[in-house]
Chains A and B, each alone.
Chain A
Amino acid sequence: MKKNYSKRTFLLEIFAIMLGLIFLVPFYFVFINSVKGFSEILIDAAALPKEVLFSNYAKVWEVISFQDAFLNSLIITVLSIAGIVVISSMAAWKMVRTPGKLSKFLFIFFVSAMVIPFQTVMIPLMKLGGMLGIMNSIPGIVIMYFGFGVSLSLFLYHGFVKTIPQEIEESARVDGCSQFGVFWRIVFPLLKPITVTVIILNTLWIWNDYLLPLLVLQDAELRTIPLATSSFFAQYTKQWDMGLAALVLGIAPVIVFFLFLQKHIIKGIAAGSIK
């Protein structure tokens, strides 16, 4: 059914490529200026560097203690997502498999919270966090991500579980498999496509989140990448030579993550948006 590659398609292709290049211009600016000296940036930000300097990177790596920030971001993201996947897949499966008023109510309860803006709960949450003694700690912020991540993730799992036939689960039950056995050995592997989506959506959100870490993590050693970047810019305003190197370091991990998994990510985003 493929149509011939007409002249019109060719022109459209040229147009699309040009648009794509325009989309990439910001990356060009950030990258080429991150290897220039300060005065060279001021003279002409669009020109290619006369000589490529990596000293900006070395300096800023120390100043923002990049490896610590990277590790903190990684630990928080991985732990939060592991928890979100476990609790929301289990809950969604049980709720679908136990139809009734309670499950229906709980589903609406979980999902309707999606319209609550974060700003509405953040102020009392800080008070509650203080009362529970979970402020300024990585486990504390991870718990909070569990609570915020569960609405959307449960919604996605809920929709997907409905499409899984029940027969296999029943026969496993008859063979004497426990509930947890049925879930982890049979159901959870079947949920893989939607688990990928849940992981991707939550990674992009948690890795890039700024406000919750800003409120919860006060110690400099606990800083995530966005926090380290913002405190760098607060301290060194307009130091663009180091600043741009900091930005390249900051965006590199998530861009690498994306480029490696782009097929899954784009598919996952589409799946996550259209039920």
Chain B
Amino acid sequence: MEKQAKRKVKLNKILSYGAFVGPALLFFILVQIIPFFMGVYYSFTSWNGVSSAVEWVGLENYITVFTDDAKFFNSFLFTTKFMLAAVLISNVIGFGLALILNAALKTKNILRTVFFIPNVIGGLLLGFIWQFIFVKGFASIGNMTDIGFFKLPWLGDETTAFWGIVIVFAWQISGYMMVIYIAALQGVDTSLLEAAKMDGATNWDVLTKIMIPLILPAFTICFFLTISMAFKIFDLNLSLTGGGPFNSTESVAINIYQEAFMNNRYGLGTAKSILFFIVVALFTTFQVMFTKKREVEA
């Protein structure tokens, strides 16, 4: 009798675990895990997305990517360079804004809202907005002020188009980073800073030797977020430059999309997407480990 009762209790526990965790697990596996493993399989095939015959080709797709796909290589180069520039600039601006707004300004709440606004706009619309600014807005400012910066052939030239996308990305993301940095700065014990000043530390010392080490966890998060956002850039440059001029701003995400859905080479597209996954995963994991190691317990 008792055994049966125990078994019933155990069964009930399993059922209730399934009822609570099951739905999340089901959708998660269906949408992310199964497609992920299907992708691994398809990357070894010549699948074209239409025909039902899927032929196993071994490593052929991977070999093609590495030996015979200059376009993909270029998009990887663009994405990596863009990631480095974008991460650096948006974190410098975000952290700078946080330092300014951490002071006792009267307008700090309004300003926080102002700097954050670009974030709520999606990448696609943002790209179109900035296309107009670069082409028409900058030209008008250039005519008015005669400043060379505004008269550059924005979006028309490989170098300026690159920096154009960096500018737009930084405009969008810095406010987000600012919010995270402000939250971290507010967690710093001010008595610590005052004590240091009393001992004769300069502002610069306080910033670099006390503040920054104390809020390193925020840097870990901000770098993680910006790296993964910059790596996956798609709609922003799609609508801003369309990948041009001369494919110079085509990101890996755009390249994969086109390989699969425009060229109908699904097998090759999945092989690229698996490589993309490996790079993003390695990069973000490595970065988190690297900055985490430097964090101190407050």
Q: Is the CB of B35 within 8 A of A208?
A: no
From residue A138, how far is it (CB to closest CB) to chain B in Å? 16
Q: A127 contacts the other chain (Cβ, under 8 Å)? A: yes
**Contact assessment for B277 and A117 in the assembled complex, using a CB-CB cutoff below 8 Å:** yes
Interface residues of A in 77-136 (CB under 8 A from B): 86-88, 90-91, 93-95, 98, 102, 106, 110, 113, 115-125, 127-128
The one of B20, B176, B235 in contact with A226, judged by C-beta atoms closer than 8 angstroms, is B235
Contact B28 A46 (CB under 8 A): no
Contact B176–A269 (Cβ < 8 Å): yes
Chain A: interface residue total (CB-CB under 8 A):
92
CB < 8 Å: which of B36, B128, B143 contacts A243?
A: B128
- B58 within 8 A of partner (CB): no
Of A18-26, A53-61, A63-71, the segment with at least 4 beta carbons within 8 Å of chain B is A18-26
A150-B24 contact, Cβ under 8 Å, with A13-B105, A23-B171, A29-B133: yes
Query: How far, in angstroms, from A72 to B266 measured CA to CA in the complex?
Result: 29
The listed residue with most B CB atoms (<10 A of its CB), out of A26, A30, A244, A251, is A26
A123 touches B171 (CB 8 A): no
Q: Are B124 and A210 in contact (CB under 8 A)?
A: yes
In angstroms, how far is the closest chain B Cβ from the Cβ of A13?
Answer: 5
Give bound CA distance, A1 to B261, whole Å: 61
B141: chain A residues within 8 A (beta carbon)? 46
Measured between beta carbons, the chain B residues less than 8 angstroms from A86 are: 23
Contacts A124-B35, A211-B234; is A258 near B117 (CB within 8 Å)?
Answer: yes
Question: B96-138, CB under 8 A of A: which get 1 and which 0?
Answer: 0100110111111011111111111111110011101100110
Q: How far is the CB of A212 from chain B (nearest CB, A)?
A: 10
**Given known contacts A16-B100, A94-B20, what 17 new A-B pairs fall within 8 Å (CB)?**
A12-B105, A19-B100, A20-B110, A26-B130, A29-B132, A33-B136, A95-B21, A98-B13, A118-B232, A119-B252, A143-B31, A151-B28, A183-B20, A226-B124, A244-B132, A255-B121, A266-B116
A179, CB-defined interface residue at 8 Å: yes
A89 vs B252: C-alpha distance in the bound complex, in angstroms?
A: 34
| Chain A residues near B97 (CB-CB < 8 A) | 19
B217 to chain A, nearest CB (A): 7
Rounded to whole angstroms, the CA-CA distance of A67 and B133 in the bound complex is 27
Majority secondary structure of chain B interface residues (helix, strand, loop or mixed): helix
| A229 contact set on B, CB distance < 8 A | 124-125, 128
User: Which residues in window 257-295 of B have CB below 8 A to A?
Assistant: 257, 260-261, 266, 269-270, 273-274, 276-277, 280-281, 284-285
Q: Do A208 and B123 touch across chains, with their CB atoms under 8 A apart? A: yes
Contacting residues, chain A, for B266 (C-beta < 8 A)? 123
Digitize A227-255: 1 where CB-to-B-CB distance is under 8 Å, 0 elsewhere: 00110010000001001100100110011
- Report the minimum CB–CB distance from A155 to chain B (whole Å): 12
Determine whether A215 belongs to the interface, using a CB cutoff of 8 Å to chain B.
yes
Q: Mark B62-106, 1 if CB is under 8 A from A, else 0.
A: 000000000000000000000000000000000001001101111
Instruction: Please determine whether A23 and B32 come into contact, CB atoms closer than 8 angstroms.
Output: no
Cβ contacts under 8 Å, B34 to chain A: 124, 128
* A146 part of interface (Cβ distance < 8 Å): yes
